[in-house]
Structure 1
Amino acid sequence: MKIEYITLGAYLLVLMIIGGMFSRLNRNISDFARGGAQGTWWMVGSSIFMAGISAFTFTGNASAAFSSGPTFLVIYLANIVGLVLCIWIGPWFRQTRATTWADIMRERFNVGVEQISAYISLIIQPVGAATQLYALAVFTSAILEIPTAWVVIILGFIVLFYSMTGGRWAVMATDFIQGLILFAVTVLMFYLAMQKIGGISEFLGYFHDPRFQQDFKLIKDPGQFADNKFTWKWVIVIFVLQLQGYINLGTAGRFLSVKDGKHAKWAAAWAAVLMLIGTVVWFVPPMVARFLYEPEIMALNIKEPATASYAYLAQQLLPNGLMGLMLASMLAATMSSMDTGLNNTTGVIVNNIIPRIRQWINLPPLSDAKGLLLCRILTVVLGLYIIAIGLMLTYQKQLSLFDAYLMIAAVIGLPLGMPVLLALWIKHLHWGAYYLIIALALIPSVYFVVASSAYGQEWPIQDRLLWIYIFSAVGCVLSLPLWKRAKAAYRDKVKNFYVKMHTPVDFAKEIGESNDRFQYRMLGGTSLILGSLILLFLFMPNSAAARWQIAALAGSIMATGALLLAFSRVSPKQ
């Protein structure tokens, strides 16, 4: 177990160093909140990809693969389709030229919508980040046998530190490094799982084994799984829900850091390729675990044994010493989501909430230096707030705060997303439609919560979502006449928003400065160092085959670093 502690400690130290390295790029709020719109496609694309996964990928979703086979992969199919569509609409998001997603709410709707959506996110996002931190801490403490509270504090402070020092630059850079480690380890796991089961033909053969055939068929029968999950209705509704997360104005923030529309296309394409590969390599191992180790896994003394299927197989197959790296990969998946949320919330406060307050009390705008200092201070404050909530979740027996967060997210999460989805595609949507659509979408959402808590009526998620979509559509139709009553100034404002959104960015004129060479050099050098450190695992007692596997893993990371350094030599000077 000592080697796992050392591996994790070294890995987390690297993340903190990266934050310090990229701090020099921050000079104003735009740099801190969106990397000054200077991010290269490969770094932004990696960050988009990493922000979309968490440790739940290797626990809860692995459990679904273990229990029901490939049906749940419709979630990841929707992710891939969404990212492919972003090859088309990603440039639109970048061409809004916004600093934060809340800027887009103001320009498309009005100041009121900007402020309401900003304050709601300020309430929900920190609690959501704390919930992720708590869940990750519970998982990590169970493996390392460290008190959960200490894990919450340690991981929380590390994310806080590199997000505070490096801002959006550090978030993107650490996401790239974490994604590189994650892919290297999980591809090795995929290879070992396929080797263990005897190859692709043997793996597919288990789908026809009478022990697994019923559970692993693509579409399940109604009543086969709880809440009629994995039926045709479930598949269609979940696909639409997941796809919605990529094709609405609220997700434009993913592309605000990229240099221009062309880089936005490449970033979306790169993220789609990574998601496609990940979908295959992450979820074959849990299925292999079901085929080969089902009795052993189900006998584990934990609440939901299937959630440990990926980790159990890793313990059986990985060479000695690499389990710590696997755990680091799982940490990376969740920390990448947390750091993105922390940075986004800080950016919205400093760029959208505080300027409005200063305007109301007749104070001048913040200077670049003061704005950047405020970004750092607020990152610390928000980080400490998230850690405090995580500790509350750790010590509360009832977990009432956790339940409250889930209820708030369930009640208002999807309704809030409906108008920003429709506003991307319907140009003649009045700002009043934002409130009307949300109000109608909240009707079934609130009813389901009340019916469930007060009367014990259970509504499967696919039925809940279907009614929310229906009421949102009604709200949209009812709001359309509002456009005819809109003032000419508002119509012109909305028209100009769409014109700007479809006008290509001229990077040389609008941004000017490029630091591609720095990005290549810093991340290339870091990758080389990490790969070299992984070679130290060759000194662990292992078979010759296991040593070759470690060498291949380290070599892939070092090769990536060498490739980035090669590109740094041919990249134009800043």
Structure 2
Amino acid sequence: MGGCLDRLRPLAAPNGKEARKAAYLSSALYLIWPLILFFPMWAAPIFYPSLADPNQSYSMMAMDLLPPGLIGLVLASMFAHTMAMTTSDANAITSVVTRDILPRLFARFRNLNGKASLLAARVTLVVFTSLTLLVAVNQSDFGGILGLLITWFGALIGPISIPMLLGLLPAFKRSGSAAAIVSWAGGLLTFGYVKYIMEAASTATLVASPVIVSAVLFIGLGMATHKHSVPAEVDELVDSLNEDMK
């Protein structure tokens, strides 16, 4: 995971100071953006008090409140942004899987040459895109669009974020790739257990429980290996993050 962070940080900013400025700006925008994004959802019960399917609230408000030209612009923007976001996510996931996850899990992926590495990346890209299309076609089985955004995305982003965020802190530098993968897998399994076995669990429980389990596993494994030596590249990465902030 440290190698992944080391590659991503220079691409985002020239140094740690600029990266911190970008992080502050992103945090400020994320405080405002949800208010804009979810305003139509909050306003829909007022405009359409008897709406049977809440998934149609955005489309109905656009068709009723926007002039024809803006409706076409919104539709074109949605298609363009969806394609751009899918491409960006597919490339990012392919890079992380082929360079950071597979080499840690399987020895045969640790010394791939150019052609073999490119083939693995292409296979990963096709698999990810196929799974994305499969989920989109069967979105009704996942609770619809709102169910995917609120329940699935909210519950699954937590276990993924725990190793990425805590891994940047010096206190967790002993929580290596094994701790990251175990905590991520534990969060996913917890989500599956709460959703499909407990069944009657509330949305808050469904979203919070994978995050808690993932955090406990990541921190616990780091504490269990606190006597182990830290690789030199990890110490160098953590020290560079502190130095760049000056």
Distance 1:285 1:358, change over 3 A: closer
CA distance in 1 between counterparts of 2:160 and 2:140 reads 28
> Which residue number corresponds to residue 167 of structure 2?
423
> Which residue number corresponds to residue 194 of structure 2?
448
Instruction: Please state if 1:460 is matched with 2:208.
Output: no
Q: CA deviation at 1:324?
A: 0.7
> Which residue number corresponds to residue 4 of structure 2?
104
CA distance in 2 between counterparts of 1:340 and 1:320 reads 30
CA distance in 2 between counterparts of 1:267 and 1:441 reads 29
Q: CA deviation at 1:494?
A: 3.2
CA distance in 2 between counterparts of 1:499 and 1:397 reads 44
> Which residue number corresponds to residue 235 of structure 2?
495
Pick aligned residue for 1:264 from 12, 15, 19: 19
> Which residue number corresponds to residue 382 of structure 1?
125
CA distance in 1 between counterparts of 2:124 and 2:207 reads 36
Contact 2:97 2:124 in 1 (8 A): no
Q: CA deviation at 1:315?
A: 2.0
Q: CA deviation at 1:288?
A: 4.2
> Which residue number corresponds to residue 517 of structure 1?
none
Structure 1 gap ranges (5+): 1-100, 108-251, 506-574
CA distance in 2 between counterparts of 1:281 and 1:409 reads 19
CA distance in 2 between counterparts of 1:309 and 1:445 reads 28
CA distance in 2 between counterparts of 1:469 and 1:359 reads 30
Pick aligned residue for 1:347 from 95, 114, 119: 95
> Which residue number corresponds to residue 307 of structure 1?
55
Q: Deviations over 1:471-494 (max 9, x none)?
A: 45554346414212x13xx35443
Partner of 2:88, secondary structure, is helix
Q: Deviations over 1:23-56 (max 9, x none)?
A: xxxxxxxxxxxxxxxxxxxxxxxxxxxxxxxxxx
Q: Deviations over 1:518-539 (max 9, x none)?
A: xxxxxxxxxxxxxxxxxxxxxx
Q: CA deviation at 1:323?
A: 0.7
Partner of 1:294, secondary structure, is coil
Q: Deviations over 1:273-297 (max 9, x none)?
A: 54445334444344444334435xx
Distance 1:444 1:359, change over 3 A: closer
Q: Deviations over 1:141-187 (max 9, x none)?
A: xxxxxxxxxxxxxxxxxxxxxxxxxxxxxxxxxxxxxxxxxxxxxxx
Instruction: Please state if 1:294 is matched with 2:64.
Output: no
TM-score by length of 1: 0.32
Kindly provide the amino acid, as one letter, of the partner of residue 13 in structure 2.
Answer: V
Q: CA deviation at 1:335?
A: 2.9
> Which residue number corresponds to residue 223 of structure 2?
480
Q: Deviations over 1:58-100 (max 9, x none)?
A: xxxxxxxxxxxxxxxxxxxxxxxxxxxxxxxxxxxxxxxxxxx
Distance 1:493 1:449, change over 3 A: same
Q: CA deviation at 1:459?
A: 1.0
CA distance in 1 between counterparts of 2:194 and 2:232 reads 40
Distance 1:273 1:335, change over 3 A: farther
CA distance in 2 between counterparts of 1:435 and 1:392 reads 23
- Count of residues in correspondence between the two structures: 232
TM-score by length of 2: 0.64
> Which residue number corresponds to residue 68 of structure 2?
320
Partner of 2:14, secondary structure, is coil
Contact 2:187 2:214 in 1 (8 A): yes
CA distance in 2 between counterparts of 1:463 and 1:388 reads 26
Q: CA deviation at 1:498?
A: 0.8
Contact 2:187 2:213 in 1 (8 A): yes
Structure 2 gap ranges (5+): none
Q: Greater CA radius of gyration, 1 or 2?
A: 1
1:30-429 equivalence runs, <5 A: 103-104=3-4, 253=8, 256-295=11-50, 298=51, 304=53, 306-348=54-96, 351-352=99-100, 357=108, 360=111, 366=114, 374=118, 378=121, 382=125, 386=129, 390=133, 394=137, 414-425=158-169, 426-427=171-172, 429=174
Q: CA deviation at 1:325?
A: 0.4
Q: CA deviation at 1:327?
A: 1.2
Q: CA deviation at 1:337?
A: 2.7
> Which residue number corresponds to residue 40 of structure 1?
none
Kindly provide the amino acid, as one letter, of the partner of residue 201 in structure 2.
Answer: W
Aligned-residue Cα RMSD (Å) equals 4.8
Q: CA deviation at 1:418?
A: 3.4
Contact 2:187 2:211 in 1 (8 A): yes
- Report which stretch shifted further, 381-390 or 315-324: 381-390
> Which residue number corresponds to residue 168 of structure 1?
none
CA distance in 2 between counterparts of 1:473 and 1:380 reads 31
Q: Deviations over 1:116-145 (max 9, x none)?
A: xxxxxxxxxxxxxxxxxxxxxxxxxxxxxx
Contact 1:102 1:348 in 2 (8 A): no
Q: CA deviation at 1:437?
A: 4.6
